[in-house]
Amino acid sequence: MKSILKLMLLSGFAFSSSVFSHDETGVQPIYSLTPVEQTADWAVQWWKPRHQEKLEAAKNSDVELLMLGDSITHGWENGGLPVWNKYFKNSKAFNLGFSGDRTEHVLWRIENGAFDNLSPKLTVLMIGTNNTGHRMDPAEHTAEGIKKIVSEIRSRMPESKVLLLGIFPRNLSPFNDMRKRNDHINKLISQLDDGKHIYYLNINQIFLDDKGQVKARLMPDLLHPNQQGYEVWAEVMAPRIKQLMAD
């Protein structure tokens, strides 16, 4: 661990007290900040080929609206496709959602060319629920990963504004540990809104009933929107997208 800390210092890595969590077992690194390929058994056959396909597609695309995230964003190409075509097809939109991704996978994609041929007016980002769902990462860790992704967007695509979405609610009950973890992440990342380049938007209430429970008619598995869920998402988000792309 001493050698790791020394390497980080020599490489100019900026870190605060939140970069490491301390418990009775010692010091735990934030995995959400270390770019890695997706290695889940169910994803390895398609994940890297999809990355390569997106790199090639970007070379021949005039992208003004970029969507970046995990399976919820990936789903615009599947169950959400009719809604995508209705709201975003004419906005020169490009989808960089990859199912199963955590913050570290998005960072790997960025480091390996995802933005090389892109300069959108607006990037819509939602990521982090898999950091909660797969490892129950501390909210501060996931927020650090999201902050790093936002920083990469601003650095590599400086003309792009960022619409940072609050992580959608998951599980039925508002008292579920994963739901509460995501709510905590959202409180942390909302502070990234600077009113100039980065804008935070939390639309989670549209997916919840008056008891705070996820509406199964919009998210049958209590995590991913169905077509109706994508419809209400787009309906609420589209005016904000239009505003930010026009300003």
Structural domains in the chain, sorted by start: 29-246 (3.40.50.1110)
- Each residue's pLDDT tens digit, 106-151: 999 999 999 999 999 999 999 999 999 999 999 999 999 999 999 9
Give me the pLDDT at residue 247, please: 81
Q: Per-residue pLDDT for 11 more than 70?
A: no
Q: How far apart are CA 146 and CA 106, in angstroms?
A: 9
3-class DSSP state of 57 = helix
Q: How confident is the model at residue 27 (pLDDT cuts 50, 70, 90)?
A: low
Structure tokens, 218: 């919009």
Q: How far is CA 231 from CA 85, 126, 141, in A?
A: 11, 17, 31
In sign, the C-alpha dihedral spanning 140, 153, 107, 83 is positive
pLDDT tens per residue, range 167-178: 999 999 999 999
Per-residue pLDDT of 87-109, as tens digits, reads 999 999 999 999 999 999 999 99
pLDDT at residue 5 greater than cutoff 50: no
Distance CA 157, CA 159 (A): 6
Model confidence at 30, pLDDT cuts 50, 70, 90, reads confident
The answer to whether 150 and 188 have CB atoms below 8 angstroms apart is no
pLDDT score for 29: 75
